Chains A and B, each alone.
Chain A
Amino acid sequence: MEYALLQAVFLPLLLSPIAYIIGRKIGPTPAMWFTFGILLYATILIILATLSGTTEEHYPWTEQFGEFGFLLDGLASPFAIMIYVLSTILVLYSKPYMIHRFHEQYEEEQHEITSTSGNSTIIESSSLSNYVNAKSGLYFALYLVFAMGMLGTVLSTNLIEFYVFFEIMLIPGFFLVALWGAGPRRKIGLMFLLWTHAGAVVLLLGFLMIGLTIGSFDFADIQESEIPQDILMLSAIAISIGLGVKLAVFMFHIWLPWVHGSAPTPISALLSPAMIGIGAYGIFRLIVEFLPNTFADLSIWFHIWGLVTMIYGGAMALMQDDIKRLLAYSSISQMGYILFGIGSMSVLGLSGAEMMYVTHALGKGILFMMAGIIIVKVGTRNISQLGGLAGKMPITAVCAVIGALTIMGVPPTSGFMGEWTLFYGALETAIEDGSTVRAVTFGLGLVATALTMSYILWMLKRVFFGKLPEHLENVKEGSWYMTAPMMVLAGFTIVLGIYPDIFFNQIIPYMSGVIGV
């Protein structure tokens, strides 16, 4: 199908004002279905394009930057599919959650108005439903742009194009956090913007170094040209750091717990698995594929950095009481797994790392939705105030257990398929190189899985099992809008865990091509 990728990327952007108008004039439900429709259509386009093999589209752009293109190959398609599948499903989940959030905020603002009387006339005059309509219109518009930014990044074929999309994600991301986050949301939104922007600037520096040296920003030209070794190393390091901030690896991770803890839950569920993993995509595409020799030098550092992140994120997750912050630290740890896999420098290790992205998207998506349901239905996010909820919300509990198993890497969920291939890769390189350092990191990596298991199981125990506190006697199960998306993802993770070839068929040939060269 012609223009399929172009449509998939730009339709959400172009139609976002309409979503805003629908929301504002009619109401949240039509806006939701409209957004859902657009994203569903785009998702189908992506899936069809994937099924027909590697798809490429090129459009003329500027002299300076080169071509504006889209490429959906074995590397990009799992990322693209997961980003849009998650985005599509989370639209449904957004409605009840965001309406709940708007109501909360309306009351807050009413309260502020009455206490500082007569300062603002706009909100005072508008009724609750108008307020909700306006906000939900804005929400869905921003949501569409956010999703589109993520997809654009993983389909880009040009460094500048990559950078532009990379930054586009930030704008709606910032607004979504700053407008509807929890806690000191503006400060946190700003933190998000600052950190990821600072990362992006470093990334841009790396891009410029490469681009100006070879005189082209097209991906296709990078591979063929010869770049001086020192510039290559410097730019690779700059790119790694820039993407490392996005991945929230150890030392660059601090923004993540704040942002993912604060963001509205459907956005956390998109940010955490889908967005930060794009950092991993960047490393695959820019470093592993285009700078293989530099990658060979850097891989051991990725490996160790990943290991440290795995353990550090897991240990910090043990200490959290806020359920969303716990999941955020867990995401840091999971990104460590991905980086660990990338550092393994073997076909199955890299494939496992990409599979980890997919599987983390599914598992963490489910767990964030679980957190959102608890926030809406119970009204607290502190684990110490929860307990024994399994009997009150059985569907949520079952899905949460499946999500937890996915994160822990227990078969038959997809987590296991990511994990064993990843560790196999690590072992393979360790044995082939006869490297003691790699053998030790392999062992410690396996130990880290036990740590992952501990914090996840402990969280489940404290949230769903044990005695039911008295104040939770009247808790109800979440609505279908909230539980059905979880169930879809839960089903998907099991199907993928039993039959991983759905993605391995794409990933492994690509990785063998890259490593084989």
Chain B
Amino acid sequence: MAAEVLGLPFEVGAASAWLVWILPFIAALIMPGIGKISKHATGYAAVGFALMSAISAVSLLPMALEAHEIHDQISWIDSIGLKAGVLADPLSIIMANVVGWISFLIMIYSTGYMKGDKSITRFWFWMLFFIGSMQLIVLSDNLLQVFFGWEGVGLASYALISFWYRDKKKDHVGTEGRTVLGLLDYYSPTHAGMKAFIMTKVGDVMMIAGMLLIFLFAGTFGFRELMHDTSWATTMSAQGLLVPAFILLFGGAVGKSAQFPLNEWLLEAMTGPTAVSALIHAATMVKAGVFLVMRLAPLVFALSAAGILADQFFEVILLVGATTALLLGLQGMVNSEIKKVLAYSTGSQIGYMMMVLGIAGLSQQFVNGYTAGFFHLISHAMFKASLFMAAGSLLHVVGSRFMTDMGGLRKNMKKTYVFMWAAGLGLMGAPFITTGFWSKDSIFGAVYTSGHEWAIPIFAIAVLTAVITAFYTTRMLGLVFYGSKSKHIQKMEEEGHHIHEASLSMWVPYGILAVLTIAIGLVGLSFEGGLHELFTDYLEDSFGIHSVHNEIENSILPEFLDGINPVALAASLSAFAIGTGLGYVFYIGRWVDPVKFVNSNIFFYAIHKVILNRFYLNAIVYWCFVVAPLWLSRGVFRYFEKTVIDYGMNNGLQKAVGWSAKVVQGTQTGVTQSYLFVFGAGLLFVVLILLI
């Protein structure tokens, strides 16, 4: 495919790979210009560029299916010998397509959702910047360049979370006046943006430390160069620095993907426009962390296969993932704001992905866990984007973020009702027809068959989380669409508001994704099989990781379910049944009143309260890292800076030369002429010195 264009070697595939991430940036840069001409045109231009970027990504797809890879480099910081480049291998190409197309649909949705906003140009600028940064992370061939995208998504999230920077009451999250451990649990958009940026920065700081450690020993940031010659790893391992370096890198992913203990920013990120939440949760930002782990995990696994052990790296990922999955899942069960429930759910599902990537590195069959993680990433991207956009429609129509202000909406918003159920079934893992089922099932399978000593407890956590997931999804659907209409809606209808379906540009995007969740779900097993095959080849070609073949013996399942572990299958079926059943009892059938149930005994009440207060983690973080440092700084400022340094040293010096001060002060007459005289004298003095 190589050809000459303008005298430069030109490869079509490489050009597409560059364009995927450059196009959104170009669009972002020209956006203010377009906005000057016509605000209306910005939407079309933004959607158009997002589409072009997605098409560039699709044009790479054939290459991915043939397990080819493009690695194209240009010179960048020559003085340090660093190159910039794109690396389009099956992993990054498929990821680029997921990001590209989901972003494109969200952009279409935004045209409806953000209609009439005064700052629409700024919105498009940051959305495109966001997409561009994410694609930069996906397609970069080295860590330093990844870090550009990495901070780019951080910056874009900061700007978009605090998009409504006027801090109006309706844009806040949390309940006004509610406190946890003496701190308000009520956040403004600008506060939330700042919180997200600083909290993810903590992760970034770790990541940069890890990057620099690796660069120090390897002399390169390049992913392929790191694989090409692994002598650096031997040296690092001998000094005991290899595992810390990779764990530090994983720290970046923990921050960006909102994993425990850096998970608290994700909730407040809900102050942004819902389209932004959808983008953050489905395509960009939180998926960046998972992607980084997917970039690094095969490398580390290949190293351990070569005798350089790094098991602790995977163990840390596994534990962080499992903790997050359960911790955030639990919190999703009690919250009354619809976007917060979805946010908790995202954190929890990302925890699943991390968990299975961790277990992959600890098992013989690396490819199983790896595929499961990626499959779940894809299916989560689809149903979560759909759910968020649908939630955005609800917010738009109802004008409240609380589910208690909704209720009984199934007749008024039929399409949203249907699509939200379809996507929700994906999240719950409804058997055999949704992508969520197959991907979750493959996670269960990978964990169960890993043979690691922690496999059983981790498997138990995974199944428990699945029960919880099914429960809170049912609860959300029940509260929104079933039962009688809330007072809020009745009041709206009395005032003459007509509760109606969202506009076309809004429901079509989430409709498409909801349908896809089911459609791919119907062929989920073969989809997974294809992915598995692709990654088997990819891991073997690029990293030399061979997959071990072991046929499942004495399978009791029919042939079309070959490759599925019966225990995992039973677990996911029962998890779905229990979770949904409980949810049905409380929220759809409404046979038991959940409020009365919780208040019925002190034990339930206490648990509910602890979970509702976010396990007090958020408050503890604030006390330790906001309140205490500010208090300390104030003390130092008052009792050291103002006294010891200012009054002590400063006045001391002044008094020591007090007499000269008096002399000089005598010259401060305020008359220009006398100053000029002094100035002239000074000049003369200088000239004299120069001439000596």
Contact = CB atoms under 8 A, between A and B. Distances in A.
B682 interface: yes
A468 interface: yes
Given A62-B692, A178-B668, A443 B637 contact: no
Given A315-B632, A457-B197, A466 B661 contact: no
Interface string A393-425: 000000000000100001110001000110110
A237 interface: no
A294 interface: no
B162 A194 contact: no
A508 to B, nearest CB: 4
Interface in B668-692: 668, 671-672, 675-676, 679, 682-683, 686, 689-690, 692
A41 interface: no
Contacts of A233: none
Interface stretch (A211-219, A224-232, A447-455): A447-455
B630 A318 contact: yes
B202 A450 contact: yes
Contact of B676 (A122, A138, A168): A138
A191 B646 CA distance: 11
B80 to A, nearest CB: 7
Interface residues of B, number: 64
A428 B198 contact: no
Contacts of A431: 213, 216, 239, 241
Interface string B628-655: 0110111011000100011001100110
Interface in B156-201: 158, 162, 165-167, 188, 190-191, 194, 197-198, 201
How many chain A residues sit at the interface, stated as a range, is 35 or more
Contact of B675 (A138, A427, A500): A138
B155 A405 contact: yes
Contacts of A193: 664
Contact of A427 (B209, B650, B679, B689): B209
B633 A318 contact: yes
A311 to B, nearest CB: 10
Contacts of B213: 427, 431
B205 interface: yes
Do most interface residues of chain A lie in helix, strand or loop, or is the interface mixed? helix
A135 to B, nearest CB: 8
B665 A447 contact: no
Interface in A429-479: 431, 442-443, 446-447, 449-451, 453-454, 457-458, 461, 464-468
Contact of A466 (B188, B202, B646, B650): B188
Interface string B40-77: 00000000000000000000000000000000000011
Contact of B165 (A68, A255, A388): A388
A428 B641 contact: no
A453 B689 CA distance: 46
Interface string B128-147: 00000000000000001001
A251 interface: yes
B645 A254 contact: yes
A319 interface: yes
B369 interface: no
A142 interface: yes
Nearest to A451: B629
A411 B77 CA distance: 14
Contacts of B637: 315-316, 319
Nearest to A497: B148
A296 interface: no
A457 to B, nearest CB: 5
Contact of A508 (B80, B241, B689): B80
A186 B633 contact: no
A254 B205 contact: no
Contact of A179 (B646, B661, B675): B675
Interface centre among B76, B194, B657, B679 (most CB of A within 10 A): B679
A499 B664 CA distance: 49
Contacts of A114: none
A488 interface: no
A443 B209 contact: yes
A178 B664 CA distance: 12
B675 A164 contact: no
B166 A388 contact: yes
Contacts of A458: 194
Contacts of A175: 675, 679
16 contacts: A141-B679, A164-B686, A171-B679, A190-B665, A194-B653, A253-B645, A254-B641, A410-B155, A431-B213, A447-B205, A450-B202, A453-B198, A453-B201, A461-B191, A465-B166, A466-B165
Which 8 A-B pairs rank lowest in CB-CB distance, beginning with the nearest?
Answer: A465-B165, A465-B190, A315-B633, A504-B79, A319-B637, A508-B79, A411-B148, A446-B205
Given A122-B671, A449-B205, 14 more contacts: A64-B692, A138-B676, A142-B679, A178-B668, A315-B633, A318-B633, A388-B165, A390-B165, A416-B151, A427-B209, A451-B629, A453-B197, A468-B166, A505-B79
